[in-house]
Amino acid sequence: MAGMIGAGKTTYTTKIAGELQTEPFYEAVDENPILNKYYEDPGKYGFALQIYFLNKRFKSIKEAFFDQNNVLDRSIYEDALFTKINVENGNISEEEYQLYLELLNNMMEELSTLPKKAPDLMIYLDASFDHILSNIQKRGRSFEQPTKENGLLDYYKQLHTAYGDWFEQYNHGPKLKIDADRYDVTQKADWQDVFAQIQTKLNGEEVMVG
């Protein structure tokens, strides 16, 4: 899965794993000891947070290769996007960024020795900014809520703009864009439509959306 904060990746991951009768791998959020500190002081904790996520993501990928059709709720390919934005915002230095990229490249070289070098399918949840904000508000994590003081609204807008370009440039394998505004996958009919698109793409066929 891919998509910005609040796009609905966890819900989709759970449902896809259920359909495929396989294991979901979730992003380390609630047990992350750095995340809320990052929101309080991104300049101090930006680099540590990205290293934490990169390490956890790499571990999940290695574990996921042991079974067919496991689902990860965020891809390692997105990590560099978050890190780059932190560099642009002055939260991570150029020296730290180069160190991060070197580590990421070393990890990707290790992945190249595994039976699969990339996901069978990258599913990107494309959602409007209003949809994103609504989801962030609904799930209620206090440190994620934008206020006039914390500048998170501008950060979320920055991410939202960057994600479209990221998906267009993704070229590591098959990919599928899902309109998260259009579908409420808690509703049976909507979920059946979405999962049919996923199955079609996994079979190597073109997805036609009416």
Q: Can you say whether residue 59 is alpha, beta or left, with left for phi > 0 and alpha for psi between -120 and 50 degrees? A: alpha
Q: Is 184 a catalytic residue?
A: no
Q: Would the annotation count 151 as a binding residue?
A: no
79 annotated ligand binder? yes
Q: Is 77 annotated as a binding residue?
A: no
State how far the Cα of 197 lies from the Cα of 201, in Å rounded to an integer. 6
Contacts of 146 (CB under 8 A, 6+ apart): 133, 136, 152, 153, 156
**173 known ligand binder:** no
Does 6 count as an annotated binding residue? Answer: yes
Q: Which residue among 73, 179, 181, 193 is the active-site one? A: 73
Q: Check the annotation: does 92 bind a ligand.
A: no
Is 39 annotated in some ligand binding site? yes
Residues with catalytic function: 73
**Binding site residues, as ranges?**
3-11, 27, 39, 50, 74, 79, 144
**Binding site residues for ATP, as ranges?**
3-11
